[in-house]
Amino acid sequence: MKAAIYCRLSKEDEDKIGESESIQNQKSMLLQYALEKGFEIYQIYSDEDYSGIDRNRPAFNSMLQAASEHQFDVVLAKTQSRFTRDMELVEKYLHGKFMEWGVRFIAVVDHVDTNDTASKKSRQINGLINEWYLEDLSTNVRSVLDHKRKEGLFIGSFARYGYCKDPNAKGKLIIDPEAAEVVRRIFSMALNGIGAHRIVRILNDEKIPSPTAYKQLHGIHYRSALKNTNAALWSSPTVYQILHDQVYIGNMVQGKHKKISYKSEKTIWMPKSQWIVVENTHEAIIEREMFETVQRMMQERTRSGEKGTIHPLAKKVVCGCCGSCMEQTGRQPRADGTQRRYVRCRMHQRAPEVCGNRTCTDMDALENAVLERIRAYAAAYFDPEKVTLPEQDDPIRRREQARRDELKRLKSEAARRRKAMRELYLDKVSGLIDAVQFSEMNQTFLEEVKKAETRIDALETELEQRQEETGGVQTQRQRVRELAQVSQLTRELVVLLVHRVIVSPKDPLTGEQKITIEWNF
């Protein structure tokens, strides 16, 4: 009877129980057990630095593939938790697939044996306990991070543009003088009535590096993974983000999104009321009064209507003939006492010879058309029944997973090298090797560790940047989910989604009028 041996060790396990659960200890125990039972060893599968909830363990999946091909008869593990801490996998394999494949599972320390049908309930309870352990661990880690956030400590990978991490105080930000001067200038231009688009042109014309380019110029492994963008140039969203960010008045704002579960890498955007805001955690670049004035100016950038409110489509409706903004014109009373509003081309009113679009368009009908298009688009985009997002075939996801796999491997290698260095020192102290041998071998290990750590830093930076950038998309999607439920068209919804609404003249034969919406995304 052939037996496959499976061993696993994660960082959490290593820190908690040390050498007793080491890979070598597991192998020795299971080999001895197999020898006593007369099992022939098919292969030893080993995963280091992998959690028991991780379904992408390479050796684990190789073993399952071999099991499905009937390459062996028994799987040996030290405990059921070494095999998996995921209750779903316990049910799927121990009580499902393994029975179909004729594979027996034995956990030596737990006395788990799938041939013993009477112990099924105990295996299930064991699986629940293992999963609860991970859930508690995740809760504890999240509590620690939330505590740091509430203490006003910065836990992100990259400081905001204008700041850098304090090398002498972990979790603190200090002003980056060069970038901070650009931030002050951006606020000063906004205070003088200069719009974000013009600010962008000024900065790009003067060849001032964008935040991404600035980080790269200063040796920070930071790059944009967004498609069809020039990270070296400033953009309006970047300027808007700076003008709205409380970090520049000394406030730390964190906890904007969180993972939906310890089993998933997906995150959700948190309501603004649940963000963790701690005031006066670091030196401000912008005075609070100036910041608040700029906020009011940005809110009032578009001219208000008669009742002091900004029309939802203000400066968004343009003529399909000449591209000029369309403006509200005459009103017509309805039977219910309300008034029907119209819009028409401003250029046609002032120079009919330039634009021949004389059509007057019902503003209420236009608003309803835009709202219905937004609802339809949002429903189609976010309904999981209508949209299938690529998983395994997505090149970006595959590259990201490859980076994660490489990161785990490098961390494991670096840990093994450090352990080897400790053992090498003990050999020197014990007289097993002389000083020259120790120096040469130790130097080799140091170089290997340094090389691994350099690559680890680069990979972690790339993965953190990818997470931050996808967080922006998730933020917008979550906000659209909230706003798309409103019963009427709002300015906030239009500003978020709509670049402009193009209204073409009515067809003289059919009377139909084409309305085209250009989106912001």
Domains of the chain by range and CATH?
2-143 (3.40.50.1390), 151-299 (3.90.1750.20), 302-521 (no CATH)
- Contact of 253 with 276, CB cutoff 8 Å: yes
Specify the pLDDT at position 17. 47
Specify the pLDDT at position 186. 93
Q: Which helix (H) or strand (E) holds 44?
A: strand 40-48
Q: State the SS3 of 485-507.
A: CCCCCCHHHHHHHEEEEEEEEEC
Single pTM value for the model: 0.38
456-460-462-468 Cα dihedral, nearest 10 degrees:
180
Rounded to 5, what percent of the chain is helix, strand, coil?
Answer: 50, 15, 35
Is 287 in a helix, a strand, or coil?
A: coil
Cα separation, 442 vs 446, whole angstroms: 6
DSSP state of 208: P
Which residue shows structure tokens 């499905």? 68
Q: What are phi and psi of 381, to 5 degrees?
A: -75, -35
Amino acid in the structure at residue 223? R
Cα separation, 231 vs 464, whole angstroms: 17
Cβ neighbourhood burial of 34 (10 Å; 0-12, 13-18, 19+): buried
Averaged pLDDT, groups of 10, the chain, 521 residues long: 90 51 84 90 90 85 93 91 82 86 89 75 57 56 70 81 89 91 91 81 91 84 51 86 91 74 61 83 90 75 47 80 78 65 78 77 84 76 46 57 83 84 78 80 84 85 69 54 62 73 84 82 65
What's the Cα-to-Cα distance from 354 to each of 120, 133, 323, 345, 505, rounded to whole Å? 83, 73, 11, 11, 14
Tokens of residue 505, six digits: 């003249």
Q: Which helix (H) or strand (E) holds 331?
A: strand 326-333
Is 184 in a helix, a strand, or coil?
A: helix
Nearest residue to 211 via CA among 465, 498, 500, 12: 465
Specify the pLDDT at position 5. 94
CA angle 294, 296, 297 (to 5 degrees): 60
Specify the pLDDT at position 129. 58
Q: Which helix (H) or strand (E) holds 188?
A: helix 177-191
Q: What are phi and psi of 22, to 5 degrees?
A: -60, 160
DSSP state of 358: -
Q: What are phi and psi of 325, to 5 degrees?
A: -70, 145
State the sign of the Cα–Cα–Cα–Cα dihedral 367, 371, 372, 377.
positive
Nearest residue to 484 via CA among 366, 364, 363, 382: 382
Specify the pLDDT at position 356. 78
Alpha helices in 236-318 (DSSP H): 236-244, 288-299
What's the Cα-to-Cα distance from 394 to each of 14, 55, 383, 390, rounded to whole Å? 34, 19, 20, 6
Tokens of residue 58, six digits: 């390479």
